[in-house]
């Protein structure tokens, strides 16, 4: 059965480019981004892992750890990392999980039914501190991920988790946010002292609380 939003992220212990890790232990009480790539030494994914490494400080600011996965070996990962560091002018310090028996890929539904059984779909999961799946995005092999969108979604998810707000279409960090329907209008002033605008009874906007 496919994973859905709100499902518990399957835990695993596996060899990685940095040695053996347990997913839950690695994430601790923070957030996580787990993303798969079809194979090592592939062009689009080389740029993606490079971009992830370049955004190390941005993920750290959000208390988020990243890890990648493919069905290649940890030894293969370590060789590929040398190429990534060289061509993308970065230093990959996050683990790349080795999933040679495809067990993790199958648990996370990363094996595409119409593709080679040795290739994972390019899926990305955001995992919350409660170890549940908060976001699932699947990309075709030809399209590189938009990491600014991933950071934007992380910001939105964390605002919802910590401040009881949602984010409107095309929202960017610093813009007004939506008060969630569960909060009564009469309770808004106490919770959101910056004020609010009632566009409709069901659409209440307030300045971003953590800015």
The mean-pLDDT minimum among 49-53, 121-125, 197-201 falls in: 121-125
Q: Is residue 118 predicted with pLDDT exceeding 60?
A: no
Tokens of 149: 């969108």
Q: How confident is the model at residue 121 (pLDDT cuts 50, 70, 90)?
A: low
Q: Is residue 16 predicted with pLDDT exceeding 60?
A: yes
Q: Which residues contact 13 (CB under 8 A, 6 or more apart)?
A: 20, 21, 22, 23
| Candidate CATH numbers 2.40.50.140, 3.40.30.10, 3.90.1640.10, 2.60.200.30; the one for domain 13-144 | 3.40.30.10
Say which residue, 100 or 142, is predicted with more confidence: 100
Q: Can you tell me the mean pLDDT for 73-101?
A: 96
Q: Can you tell me the mean pLDDT for 153-174?
A: 96
Tokens of 121: 């779909």
Where would I find the beta strands (DSSP E) of 63-142? 64-70, 96-98, 122-127, 133-139
Q: Where do the structural domains in the chain lie, given as residue ranges?
A: 13-144, 164-206
Q: Is residue 11 predicted with pLDDT exceeding 70?
A: yes
- Crossing angle of helices 74-88 and 43-54, in 10° steps, is 70
Alpha-carbon span 95 to 83, nearest angstrom: 15
Do the bridges between strand 197-200 and strand 203-206 make them parallel or antiparallel, or are there none, so unpaired?
antiparallel
Helix (H), strand (E) counts: the chain: 7, 11
pLDDT digits (tens, 9 = 90+) for 37-81: 888 999 999 999 999 999 999 999 999 999 999 889 999 999 999
| Candidate CATH numbers 3.30.1020.10, 3.90.650.10, 3.40.640.10, 3.40.50.920; the one for domain 164-206 | 3.30.1020.10
Phi, psi dihedral angles at 138 (to 5 degrees): -120, 125
Q: Which residues form the catalytic set?
A: 45
Mean pLDDT, all residues of the chain: 93
Query: Position of tokens 């092999």?
Result: 141
Q: Can you tell me the mean pLDDT for 161-171?
A: 96
Q: Is residue 113 predicted with pLDDT exceeding 70?
A: no
Q: Is residue 111 predicted with pLDDT exceeding 90?
A: no
Q: Is residue 210 predicted with pLDDT exceeding 60?
A: yes
């Amino acid at each position: 059965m496919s994973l859905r939003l709100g499902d518990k992220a399957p835990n695993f212990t596996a060899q990685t480019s940095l040695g053996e890790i347990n997913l839950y232990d690695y994430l601790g009480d923070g957030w996580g981004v787990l993303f798969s790539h079809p194979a090592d030494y592939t062009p689009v994914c080389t740029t993606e892992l490079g971009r992830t490494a370049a955004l190390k400080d941005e993920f750290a600011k959000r208390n988020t750890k990243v890890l990648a996965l493919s069905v290649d070996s940890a030894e293969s990962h370590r060789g590929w990392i040398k190429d990534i560091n060289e061509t993308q002018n970065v230093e990959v310090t996050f683990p790349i999980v080795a999933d040679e028996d495809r067990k993790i890929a199958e648990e996370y539904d990363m094996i595409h039914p119409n593709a080679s059984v040795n290739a994972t779909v390019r899926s990305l999961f955001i995992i919350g501190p409660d170890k549940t799946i908060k976001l699932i995005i699947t990309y075709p092999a030809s399209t590189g991920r938009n990491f600014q969108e991933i950071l934007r979604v992380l910001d939105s998810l964390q605002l919802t988790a910590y401040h009881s707000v949602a984010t409107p279409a095309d929202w960017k960090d610093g813009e007004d946010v939506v008060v969630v329907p569960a909060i009564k209008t009469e309770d808004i002033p106490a919770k959101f002292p910056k004020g609010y605008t009632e566009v409709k009874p069901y659409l209440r906007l307030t300045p971003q609380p953590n800015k």
